[in-house]
Amino acid sequence: MEAEDQGGPPGEGWLCYILQSSVNTRRTYVGMTNNMRRRIRQHNGALKGGARTTRAWRPWTLVGWIQGFSSRSHVHSFEHRMHSRRLPQHMADPRTLQLAQGTEGDSVKRRLRRVNCLLLLDRYRNLQYKVYPQE
């Protein structure tokens, strides 16, 4: 399902997004773009330019996105923290930190826990995010 079919994000401004494979729902992907509609079409093979790591698990469904970044470098730092196994130790209580870094639960829930932890940081506090209900 494409972003526009799901009432996707606006086509302007930088955002970080989370995709889930429809073939293997344990597979998720985090990326950044300034045009979500185009980017999801690339990941699903309708347009040239999708990430190599997403080709084997097509089609992809948009799970959610985070928007409100001030620049490309701002969204890039957020995406980098989403990929990082470590989170800043001072940002949350130990139990929350353990949940966000752990491997328990499905991958979408882990990704969303990480988003929630990152949104506690001053640098990302003013961002908005949208998550689609899981079917």
Domain count, the chain: 1
Which residues are CB-neighbours of 94 under 8 A, at least 6 positions away? Answer: none
- Nearest-5° angle of CA 13, CA 18, CA 19? 120
Q: Mean pLDDT, consecutive 10-residue segments, the chain of 135 residues?
A: 50 88 94 93 92 93 93 95 74 58 71 86 88 65
Bond into 88 cis (ω within 30) = no
pLDDT for 129: 87
Q: Distance between CA 12 and CA 21 in Å, rounded?
A: 25
Among positive and negative, which fits the CA dihedral 45, 68, 29, 72?
A: positive
pLDDT for 27: 93
Question: What is residue 67's DSSP assignment?
Answer: E
Backbone angles phi, psi at 68, to 5 degrees: 105, 15
pLDDT for 96: 58
Q: Report helix, strand and coil shares of the chain as percent, to nearest 5.
A: 40, 20, 40
What range does the domain containing 115 cover? 3-131
pLDDT for 67: 92
Q: Distance between CA 28 and CA 105 in Å, rounded?
A: 13
